[in-house]
Amino acid sequence: MSDEIGDREKEVLRAVVQEYITTGGPVGSQQLSRKPGFDVSSATLRNVLADLEELGFLEKPHTSAGRVPTDQGYRFYVDTLVRLKEPAPRDRELIHAGLGQEKNVVDMLSEASRVLHSLTRHASVVITPRPGAAVFHRIEFVRLREDRVLAVLVGNGGQVQNKVITVDFPVTSDELLKASNFLSELLREVSLEEARERIRQEMDQEQALYNALTSKALKLGAAATDLDTPESERVRIEGTNSFLEQPEFADVERMRALFKMLDEKHKLLQLLDRVQRAREMQIFIGAESEFSAAGEVTVIASPYGSREQVLGTVGVIGPTRMNYQRVIPLVNFTAQVLSRVLGQD
């Protein structure tokens, strides 16, 4: 498609998108002719606008109005025309300061979401790591009462998972300590998913190979690593009320459809899992995804983690009329800082 559009058309399309992002109103030829850099007549600009409309990049919202970008126009702008820069020093400082203060992974991800919302004024979203994806570092057991034990699983990146397990066999505090040391050594540097599999393999061995303490340790480990967290709980959204500030969503029915869409977290999770599989930033504009098909919504998301293991996704959800030039670098930088702070990059 890019070979069908000349340099003048590209500059006009860039100007229309940026003007529409700024004003929220249809953009006409006279409006463009007053902008610096356009030393051509309004008639010439009208012809270029008509050509861009015929190509599907622009559309008229109603008769005799100026034009607004289509999803296809935004896509071409994002892929070809947008001029990206590093976030401003003040924005970088705010992201570093916010994420550097938090030690708990859950709190850190919540802070990342809060900072992104604050900087972009769009709803922000974070997909937390799957509990089983954390690389195992240590497991500790704390007796609560005779048949209840608290298992504390610590990941290499500082992730902490707590689980109360019920035991149907007698176990002393000394045995819990020895079980912790045995399992921590057995499972070190594997993911919790791999830990579960390793424990199952060990338990499948001839029982005579194990003494009573080892048998108890493996049973405790099997119960502790059996983490069953609903997928929807991995989705955290901040700042959905920001849509109320956008004129595109002043219509009650459109707003109702939007919030219904945001409530369907499984669809958002499916979309952002695509970002994790791609292992790079993804931008979904308008009807490009089932999630954003409710209309005039863009999702910009980037994975965080390492080359070896993607842990989750961070991004924003906003109107298609968003400042891509500013938002894209902010999302990307936040993901990079998250990766570094978690010790995964």
Are 29 and 45 in contact, with CB atoms under 8 Å apart?
Answer: yes
Helix (H, G, I), strand (E, B), or coil: what is residue 14?
helix
* Structural domain that includes position 185: 132-224
239 and 334 belong to one structural domain: yes
Query: Model's pTM, two decimal places?
Result: 0.77
- pLDDT score for 147: 85
30 and 179 belong to one structural domain: no
Which residue type is seen at 33? Answer: S
124 and 146 belong to one structural domain: no
Summarised one tens digit per residue, pLDDT across range 118-137 is 999 999 999 887 765 666 67
Are 318 and 280 in contact, with CB atoms under 8 Å apart?
Answer: no
Lowest mean pLDDT among 14-18, 34-38, 69-73, 332-336: 34-38
114 and 242 belong to one structural domain: yes
Q: Of 224, 249, 283, which one is at a domain's C-terminal end?
A: 224
The Cα–Cα gap between 95 and 111 comes to 9
The Cα–Cα gap between 173 and 179 comes to 10
Q: Mean pLDDT over residues 228-248, rounded? A: 77
- pLDDT score for 311: 83
What letter would DSSP give residue 233? G
The Cα–Cα gap between 78 and 101 comes to 33
- pLDDT score for 245: 81
The Cα–Cα gap between 19 and 344 comes to 40
Q: Bridge partners of 124? A: 238, 316
Q: Bridge partners of 127? A: 235, 313
What's the domain count of the chain? 3
CATH number assigned to the domain comprising residue 185: 3.30.390.60
CATH number assigned to the domain comprising residue 53: 1.10.10.10
Give 344's pLDDT tier (boundaries 50, 70, 90).
very low
Mean pLDDT of the chain: 83
The Cα–Cα gap between 280 and 304 comes to 9
72 and 155 belong to one structural domain: no
20 and 105 belong to one structural domain: no
274 and 332 belong to one structural domain: yes
Summarised one tens digit per residue, pLDDT across range 245-304 is 887 777 777 778 777 877 878 788 888 888 988 889 999 998 887 766 566 889 999 999
Secondary structure of 61-85 in the HEC alphabet? CCCCCCEEECHHHHHHHHHHHCCCC
235 and 123 belong to one structural domain: yes
In terms of average pLDDT, the best of 63-67, 219-223, 336-340 is 336-340
Q: Which tokens in the block code for residue 208?
A: 């005579």
Are 329 and 316 in contact, with CB atoms under 8 Å apart?
Answer: no
pLDDT above 90: percentage of residues in the chain: 32
Q: Bridge partners of 191? A: 135
E-strand ranges in the chain read: 58-59, 68-69, 123-127, 136-145, 148-155, 160-166, 235-238, 282-285, 297-305, 310-319
CATH number assigned to the domain comprising residue 267: 3.30.450.40
Q: Is the pLDDT of residue 207 over 70?
A: no
95 and 140 belong to one structural domain: no
160 and 113 belong to one structural domain: no
235 and 337 belong to one structural domain: yes
113 and 239 belong to one structural domain: yes
Q: Bridge partners of 300? A: 283, 316
Are 82 and 75 in contact, with CB atoms under 8 Å apart?
Answer: no
Summarised one tens digit per residue, pLDDT across range 210-233 is 677 788 887 887 787 776 656 666
- pLDDT score for 323: 95
